[in-house]
Amino acid sequence: MPPKVNKTTASLTSSTVEAEDQRNEMLEDIRRIVREVIQDEVSSLKTDIQLAIAPVRAELDECKTQLADHEEGLNTLAARIDSLEARSTQLAKDNAKLQLKTDDLENRGRRCNLRIVGIPEGVEQGKPTTFISNMLHKLFTGPGGLEKAPVLDRAHRVPASRPKDGERPRSFLWKVHLFQVKEEILKLSRQKGKLVLGGTQIFIFPDYSADLDKRRAAYNEVKAVLRKADVRYGLLYPARLRITFGSETRIFDSPQSAMEYYTTKIKPPPKICEHLCCLCQAGRLLNQGVVYHGLEIGIGMLRVDETVGNGNALCRDVV
């Protein structure tokens, strides 16, 4: 026989079930309301964001357009710069060629000109052309010299203010009528060597442009070392150096190449004796410089290999 159910217990159970159902319905309503609120807020926020970023997008699109325009402009400028650089390089080369041609034309116009340095002021007595012509004939008269006074087109002092007493006189600039006669005068001047006029030494030079003078003067240093080494050389027109060393003759277009040739081919190596024996005691030799055969040997330049019986250093070589 089944147990009897208490009416009170059944009633409580029914109430609990109803409460649970109501609670679930309320939770479901709350969830629905939260979802709706969130959806509304998200929708509203999305709308606000879209409205806010719309101008930003427009600005970004404008920036992209401007950036593309700038990029195109920069590419165009880069191409133009490359073209201008290439053109500038070519113009620089053309300008250098034109400068050389202009300088060559100027020096060709001066090829019959000569300069004399050292003639005192006023000795020409207002007739410089006649004075220079007669002076040349007097200087280079005799066998192998000038048969008569050379014909000069013009002679004058260089355009400068008259120097004061005791100052260096202005040089003479003069043009020989014939180029062959001008070359003969230079040849005679080199052969005679020292030229003296009235007790004053004078010098005769070719007349070159200032630019060519600088280019030729750039060889002075290498000419000095070649002269000291007793090496035959000659300065060719317009500015080239010919060096004859032994059986070899070479021509250089720049002082740098000529100096490099001297340093590598001509310059003698330092002369150092293989055995520098008994110069001084080892301690003194290593602590101060000595002079051996005209060569100054500095501190620490010698290696002491051993000492001999008298206590002096036996030095093998320079280290």
**98-127 pLDDT tens trace:** 999 999 999 999 999 999 999 999 999 999
Indicate the residue type of 34: V
| Total structural domains within the chain | 4
| Residue 305 predicted with pLDDT over 90 | no
At 11 the pLDDT is 66
Q: Which of 27-31, 119-123, 135-139, 297-301 has the lowest mean pLDDT?
A: 297-301
Same domain, 150 and 220: no
Tell me the pLDDT of the chain averaged across its residues: 83
What CATH code is carried by the domain that includes residue 215?
Answer: 3.30.250.20
Q: Which tokens belong to 9?
A: 């217990």
Please give the average per-residue pLDDT across 62-77, as a whole number.
93
Between the alpha carbon of residue 179 and those of residues 40, 46, 186, 205, the distances in Å are: 109, 100, 11, 14
Indicate the residue type of 185: I
- Cis, bond preceding 143 (omega within 30 deg of 0): no
Same domain, 100 and 3: yes
Task: Please name the helix (run of DSSP H) or strand (run of DSSP E) that holds residue 175, with its range, or none.
Answer: strand 172-176
Q: Which tokens belong to 193?
A: 């060597």
Task: Please name the helix (run of DSSP H) or strand (run of DSSP E) that holds residue 100, with its range, or none.
Answer: helix 7-109
Q: Alpha-carbon distance 234 to 165, whole Å?
A: 38
Same domain, 189 and 250: no
Same domain, 47 and 58: yes
pLDDT grade, residue 43 (50/70/90)?
A: confident
What CATH code is carried by the domain that includes residue 121?
Answer: 3.30.70.1820
Name the residue with tokens 């005209």. Answer: 294
Please give the average per-residue pLDDT across 87-108, as a whole number.
95
At 144 the pLDDT is 87
Question: Which of 190, 207, 224 is the C-terminal boundary of a domain?
Answer: 207
Q: Beta-carbon neighbour count of residue 286 at 10 Å?
A: 16
At 314 the pLDDT is 40
**How large is the C-alpha radius of gyration of the chain?**
51
| Residue 310 predicted with pLDDT over 90 | no
Please give the average per-residue pLDDT across 38-48, as a whole number.
88
Same domain, 15 and 97: yes
The model's pTM: 0.58
Question: Which of 60, 77, 106 is the C-terminal boundary of a domain?
Answer: 106
| Residue 41 predicted with pLDDT over 80 | yes
Q: Which tokens belong to 189?
A: 């001047």
Q: What is the pLDDT of residues 250-296, one digit of tens each?
A: 999 999 999 999 999 998 766 554 444 444 444 444 444 444 444 44
Exposure string (b/e) for 199-234, b if CB count within 10 Å is 16 or more? eeebebebbbbebbeebbeebeebbeebeeeebebe
Question: Which of 63, 78, 106 is the C-terminal boundary of a domain?
Answer: 106
Domain span at residue 178 reads 111-207
| Residue 175 predicted with pLDDT over 90 | yes
- Cis, bond preceding 169 (omega within 30 deg of 0): no
Q: Alpha-carbon distance 193 to 190, whole Å?
A: 5
